Structures are given as structure tokens and as C-alpha cells.
Amino acid sequence: MESIDVRVLRTLRDWRADGHRALLATVIRTWGSSPRPVGAMMALREDGRAVGSVSGGCIEDDLIFRHTRAHGAQGIPHGLPQVVRYGVSADEAHQFGLPCGGTLELLLEFDPPHDSLAELVQRLETGELVRRTVSRLDGSVTLDHADEPEHLQFDDSRLTSIFGPEYRMLLIGAGMLTEYLSTMALFSGFSVTVCDPRVEYMDAWSLPGVKKLVEMPDDAVVAFRPDQRSCIIALSHDPKLDDLALLEALHSPAFYVGAIGSRRNSQSRRARMIEHFNETEASLERLRGPVGIHINSKTPAEIAVSVMAEILAVKNGVDLPHELSVAQAKQQQEAAAMRAG
């Protein structure tokens, strides 16, 4: 499953290529509680079709009512981008389904040019980080290369957004846990690649939408070219596959690097890397293992939930309490059992 941003932009590109009138709504400011974050987008076609989301649904309904022919309105208006605000009063907040005290502002772009949309999508598909700037003064749109992600900026006359590259996940080992984790990652907007040189494992792979590699995992990591929106997880339980791949990943910009395994296996892995590959405790600080947060998971599906939750927390900048780590929780459980015994 592609990321929601790319889906919105690609759909809007296709609508405009087919000659449809359409608008692009972007959340530019929020106050108080808001159902969608700054930067959330929705594309709306003149016949009422929509993709993406800027709220829990009520604001989308209002935009459809006001700007399409679905309810007898005049359709998508012509003109320069406009700023609209929802939820200023308590009555409006209630009407549009906003939380108590919630207010948000949208920038509405009418008939974004197809050529610019096509170029933006094409550059995103090649893995580029792109800065898109929209002028409220004349409606012009410019695209520039960006060196690093930035927060959306709006100064009343200009909107600047950073798009891409997509979040990517590389999984080492093609077992059952990998299938569950891949499924969750796809639905979370990640592009997923699975690498396993063991033919018997890859021949049994049945999940669509995942890129499959059969080369050695360390070579796959190098070819993957991890960036700040990449995560790499070793799930094979085979040191011959996992260790070298993890070493390559640790020396990359990937935001998350980890491996499945027990506490003993994780400690042994660190010891091997220090003894045989000149790593140090400091250089291995980014290596997560055992991966996941502690939810007392037992089955592959539950373990995948645990791992995906930790990945998303790291992606979203959440500092998880130490007590949620699998190693810490199991250590506390063992200590409690010894005291009880």
C-alpha cells in the first residue's frame, strides 16, 4: 500500500490529466485538539469523489457540499488559493466533529496544474525529497530538491511542504513473522522489501505487494541504500544472514535497525560484533534487540504488532519508557518469579 500523501497526489494527477476539475486541501494550522495533523491532504473532484482526509469526515462532507456538483453547488471555483477555517466557535466545532476547542485551517488549491503534479509524483517515485511551494499571490507552484525533511511552513502568502521519500522497510528472512510484519507495514504506508537467499523460504512467500530479493542480505542492504526514512529488521534467526546485514545497516542513516531474538541471542550477537567486527558498545547503541515493545506477545501475529508499534513510535519521535522494552520486562518477570519462588 502506497503512502497516503503519494496516493492523494497520484490520484489528483490522474484526475487533472483526464481533464477533471479538482481541488487540493491541505491542513496548514491547528489549534487545540485536531483529528488530523498539519500537512494532511485531501483531493476533491468536481463530481464529489475524494481521496485523503483532513478531519474525521464532517469537514470533508462540507467541502463536498460547497465545492462540487454532488449537492447542486456550482462546482470547483476558479481563482487563487484560499484559506478556510473550521471550528472557531463551539457550535462549529460540534458541527464539524472537531474535539472540544479544536480549530484547523486549510489551504484550498483550485485546479492544481497537471504538469507540476506529474513531475512531483515522478520525482517522489525515484526516491527524491522534494520541496513544493505554493504562492497565494498568483497561484504558482515551484518544485525544488530538499536535502532533509522539514515541517510544513505557511506565512499567509506562501505554503511550503516537503514530500518524500517514502518510508521503506527491509526485512531479512522470509518466515511467518515476516509476512505478518510486512502486512502491517504495507497498511502503515511503508514500501516493503524482503530478502532471503534461502530458496525454500522465498518459494513459499505468498504476500503480494512486497519486493523479493534472494541475494545475500548484506549486499541487499548496500543496494537498498538506506536513508532517514528506512528501517531494517533481521528476522531470520541465522547469524550468517543477520549479522553482516545488521552491520551494514548500523553504518547507514536508517532510523531503525533491529533484530528478533531472545535476550541471550541478542547478547551473543553483540558479543560477536565486538569480538570479530571491531564494533563497540557505543557503535552498537542503535541496534535494537530483542525488537518490539512488551505486550507479552506469544504468536507471530502478536510479535509483529509489538515490533510494528516500536517502529512507528521511533518514526514518530516517541520516547518509549524503558519498562516497555522486551528485555527489561522479561528481566523484571524473572526477578518477580524468583522472589515468589
Q: Spell out the domains of the chain, with CATH numbers in brackets.
A: 4-117 (no CATH), 168-334 (3.40.50.720)
Q: Is this model's pTM higher than 0.85 or not?
A: no
Phi-psi region of 333 (alpha: psi -120 to 50; beta: other; left: phi over 0): alpha
Q: Which pLDDT score is estimated for 65?
A: 87
DSSP 60-117: HHHHHHHHSGGGT---SPPSS-EEEEE-SSHHHHHHTTPPTT-EEEEEEEES--HHHH
CB 19 within 8 A of CB 145: no
C-alpha cell at 247: 552491520
CB 191 within 8 A of CB 169: yes
Q: What does the buried/exposed string (b/e) look like for 174-207 if buried means 16 or more CB atoms within 10 Å of the residue's CB?
A: bbebbbbbbbbbbebebbbbbbbbeeebeeebee
Q: Which pLDDT score is estimated for 1?
A: 46
Task: Give the DSSP H or E segment for 122.
Answer: helix 114-125
User: Using one digit for the tens of pLDDT, what is the confidence trace for 108-138?
Assistant: 999 999 999 999 999 988 778 999 999 999 9
Rounded Cα distance between 216 and 69, Å, is 56
Q: Which pLDDT score is estimated for 323?
A: 75
User: Using one digit for the tens of pLDDT, what is the confidence trace for 208-251?
Assistant: 889 999 999 999 999 999 988 899 999 998 889 999 999 999 99
Residue ranges of the chain with per-residue pLDDT less than 70: 1-2, 33, 70-74, 88-101, 327, 329-339, 341
Q: Which pLDDT score is estimated for 330?
A: 67
- For helices 326-340 and 263-277, the axis angle rounded to 10 degrees is 130
What are the CA-CA distances from residue 152 to residues 160, 227, 298 (Å)?
A: 6, 20, 41
Q: Which pLDDT score is estimated for 2?
A: 58
The answer, yes or no, to whether the previous bond of 81 is cis (omega within 30 of 0) is no
